[in-house]
Amino acid sequence: MKRLVILSGAGISAESGIKTFRDMGGLWEEHDVMDVASPEGWERDKELVLNFYNARRKQLLDVKPNQGHLVLAELEKYFDVNIITQNVDNLHERAGSSKVLHLHGELTKVRSENNEDLIYELDHWEVKLGDTAEDGAQLRPHIVWFGEAVPLITTAAEICQQADIFIVVGTSLNVYPAAGLIDYVPQSAPIYLIDPSDFKLSRKVHHIQEKATTGLEKLKELLVVG
């Protein structure tokens, strides 16, 4: 099977009702990113940060995968599919995708604030001050914050180097090192960009200027039916 690698961002979850970060009315318009998504913000006000992610985790209970997520899961019938996502939601997995790498962490997990290897899967949405890990340290969201390392970036780059076909969907490619992954894709691999907004990339791409739901349906026709 040909290797299909997808780099996804907040835009693929927009039609499920999850706000993106930088679009009009996006999360970063409502919240100071350095208050809720940085180690400094965490040290300043842990309760503010916990409540920010509690609200997003609670919302996850009310949303479901959209046709965009479902198409990517369906493509596993025809391709060896790897999804590299910047999203911390679990909609790719809930749509049935089997190989999903979360570059920026996962909402449904927490970890010790003193030991990044003590990671726990949550079965509830609310994490409070005083909730501790087995080392007695406060639990923090298992999310990669601005200024923190991206532990899985090397694995992601290796996956991109193996791509026969590469798809970029729903990301503004503003955030590095994720945005740099496109440079690891072999020159021989066609790149498809699915995004309603118009922006230029460093590589020649086939831009399907549509939303994820309709754009991925079109791409599936192109790739499967040909």
Told to check if 23 binds ligand APR by CB under 6 A, we report yes
* CB-neighbour burial class of residue 120 (10 A; exposed 0-12, middle 13-18, buried 19+): middle
In the stretch 184-203, what mask flags binding to ligand APR with x, by CB under 6 A?
Answer: ----------xxxx------
Degrees (nearest 5) of the Cα angle 21, 6, 122? 60
Minimum Å gap between C-beta 33 and ligand APR is 7
Active site residue 92: no
Told to check if 89 binds ligand APR by CB under 6 A, we report no
Minimum Å gap between C-beta 86 and ligand APR is 3
H/E stretch holding 162 reads none
**What φ, ψ does residue 214 adopt, rounded to 5°?**
-80, -35
Member of 86, 97, 112, 138 binding ligand APR (CB under 6 A): 86
Q: Residue 167 pairs with which residues in a beta bridge?
A: 6, 192
Strand 80-85 and strand 3-8: pairing?
parallel
CB 202 within 8 A of CB 183: yes
What is the rounded CA–CA span in Å between residue 161 and residue 167? 13
Minimum Å gap between C-beta 72 and ligand APR is 12
Member of 57, 111, 142, 211 binding ligand APR (CB under 6 A): 211
Told to check if 141 binds ligand APR by CB under 6 A, we report no
Question: For ligand APR, which residue has the nearest CB?
Answer: 11
Told to check if 171 binds ligand APR by CB under 6 A, we report yes
Member of 22, 46, 109, 218 binding ligand APR (CB under 6 A): 22
What is the rounded CA–CA span in Å between residue 155 and residue 133? 27
CB 27 within 8 A of CB 119: no
In the stretch 26-65, what mask flags binding to ligand APR with x, by CB under 6 A?
Answer: x---------------------------------------
**Paired tokens of 73:** 């899961």
Strand order in the sheet with 139-143: 119-121, 105-112, 139-143
**Paired tokens of 134:** 């087995």
Catalytic residue from among 104, 142, 206, 207 = 104
Question: What residue ranges bind ligand APR (CB under 6 A)?
Answer: 9-12, 14-15, 20-23, 26, 86, 104, 170-172, 174-175, 194-197, 211-212
Catalytically active residues, by annotation: 104
